[in-house]
Amino acid sequence: MKRFEFSLETVLHLRESQEREWENKLASVTGECARLRREIGGFKEEKSRCALENTLRDVNSLMAVANYQALMDRKADEARRKLSLKEKERERVLKDFIEASKKRKILDKLKEKQHDEYHHERNKYEEKMNDDLNISRRARVNGG
């Protein structure tokens, strides 16, 4: 009996490849989101650090600190805007990844089902061959 061969193997490999591509895109976008969150946290920390370290009480110094803190606020707001866009992109990529994963899993299940059917048929074939061998042995032994 010939060995098992899944007729849609090339399609399965294509689906696996597409799933990996979406997984890589998802990892990339998730990494960008994490980087932006760290950046926002850094701006907040820098703003606080600047306020704590300012011991001078003259007007120019206070103005400089206020301007610097306003700059940190603007940068944090810009990073939050970018993060919001990246999170929306991440949701789209996640949706596409899940879809690609479903398509691959469907073919995996089909392959598994066909493989199980193949083994069942092979076992029936082997049993038939063994039965035929036993019958011919008995016939020879009994002088048939």
Q: What is the tens place of the pLDDT at every residue in 74-101? A: 999 999 999 999 999 999 999 999 999 9
- What is the 3 state secondary structure string of the chain? CCCCCCCCHHHHHHHHHHHHHHHHHHHHHHHHHHHHHHHHHHHHHHHHHHHHHCCCCCHHHHHHHHHHHHHHHHHHHHHHHHHHHHHHHHHHHHHHHHHHHHHHHHHHHHHHHHHHHHHHHHHHHHHHHHHHHHHHHHHHHCCC
116, pLDDT greater than 90: yes
Q: What is the pLDDT of residue 52?
A: 80
pLDDT value of residue 136: 87
Query: CA geometry: angle at 60 spanning 56 and 64, to 5°?
Result: 85
pTM: 0.76
Distance CA 29, CA 76 (A): 19
How many CA within 13 A on the CB side of residue 51? 10
CATH class of 9-108: mainly alpha
Amino acid at 92: R
